[in-house]
Amino acid sequence: MERVILHSDLNNFYASVEGLDNEEYRVNPMAVSGNPEMRHGIILAKNNIAKALGVKTGDTIWQAEMKCRNIMLCRPHFEKYSHYSKVVREIYYTFTDKIETFGLDECWLDVTGSQKLFGDGETIANLIREKVKRETGLTVSIGVSYTKVFAKLGSDMKKPDAVTIITKENFKEKVWPVPVEEMLNIGKKTKLRLRNLNVFTIGDLANTQEKLLLSHFGIIGSRMKKDAMGIEEGEVLVFDKHTPIKSVGNGITTRRDMKTNDDVRSVIFYLAEIVASRLRQYGFCGTGVSIAMRDTALSTISRQQVLNYPTNSEKVIATEAYECFLKNYNLNHLLPLRSITVQTYNLVSDGFSFQQSLFDTAIDNFKEEKLGKSLDVIRDKFGFESVTKASFISNDLIASSHKSDDTLPFQRNNR
């Protein structure tokens, strides 16, 4: 039996959720945006009215206001988006248990085995679309196909509140004229490299010699060609199958640029405290640390290094991350940094046995971890901010009281 895959995409998700509680957001151009005071001043989502006026996701706030002077802006409420995302997934679950999430607003569904109960793929897609609208007030666009890549392309072709069918018989007509960058897993850099090979559409990619793609992209080139030709064997993950945690990290865009090593060091230690706490919460230790640094030109450099022993100590994580920064980035000769992410990877269970070196500091590490666990007990009872370093409170790089973007009071109405 041929597979039937759906890709369901909630239309203008953040903006649509905000519109459920505020009629003004439904009848006027509006967008959900980051907080400009925190230098997160970009458009995260917009409604159809703002979209028609040229506002795009990823626009800066000033760009959106240039295109639409009367645009209404509101801060994001991620707890609401998470709630509605779960509600909609429960609706999907009434049709199939083979559901793979792709962010809060997108999911793949394998409904191959559901057709005897509910009808063919198009019928199921329309049943889902109508049920989501009826029970939540939100709309979805759904692509129906036999591969995950084509199903996702289908959900993008008609918006909002629509169903698009891509079959083995019509995919060349529907898919091949589409720009190649619209296909899943092809980003800006890959798009530019493909253009150098005169590959502009998905059809061009499908008809490019595999040897040429292999020579430029390796095995990924072969996979891209198969995706363009509708050859795919990737399975949709089961709804209640938990993906194992492979890494734990945290990043921040600072309130001002980081121009000195001391600036970077303070931010790294701040992030390491959060990462270490999460590791202990999940019952893991990291055996490697990575750091990603984005400069003021929005170029990103990532580096990583293996640890001598597994750890969930903030001091060890911070020290290793800072050394990695010093080895790979010189602020005297390079641009100031705008954001930093600290991450631990190759996780093992807390208490994992390992061979200790005679020359390392694993005993000190053990003491640091015990201290961290003691702080966790206090924070679990009184909140994460109940115990913190004084330097974090007064640090002008970091938001006061560790408040994240979604807790800051920000709303703008330009009317």
CA-based nearest residue to 106, from 60, 169, 156, 61: 156
Whole-angstrom Cα distance, residue 114 to residue 121? 9
Per residue in 234-267, is it b (16+ CB within 10 Å) or e — as a string? eebeebeeeeeeeebbbbbbbeeebeeeebbbbb
Whole-angstrom Cα distance, residue 262 to residue 240? 45
- Calculate the alpha carbon distances from 183 to 175, 194, 210 in Å: 9, 13, 18
106 is catalytic: yes
Residue 19 has a CB neighbour count (10 Å cut-off) of 19
The catalytic residue among 37, 65, 79, 106 is 106
Surface-to-core class of residue 188, CB atoms within 10 Å of its CB (0-12 exposed, 13-18 middle, 19+ buried): exposed
Whole-angstrom Cα distance, residue 149 to residue 136? 27
CA-based nearest residue to 128, from 101, 95, 160: 95
Q: CB-hemisphere CA count at 13 Å for 253?
A: 15
For 185: left if phi > 0, alpha if psi spans -120 to 50, otherwise beta; the answer is left
CA-based nearest residue to 12, from 38, 32, 42: 32
Q: At 58, which amino acid appears?
A: G
Residue ranges in 243-305 assigned as alpha helix (H): 261-282
Quick one: tokens of 20?
């459920």
Catalytic residues, which ones? 106
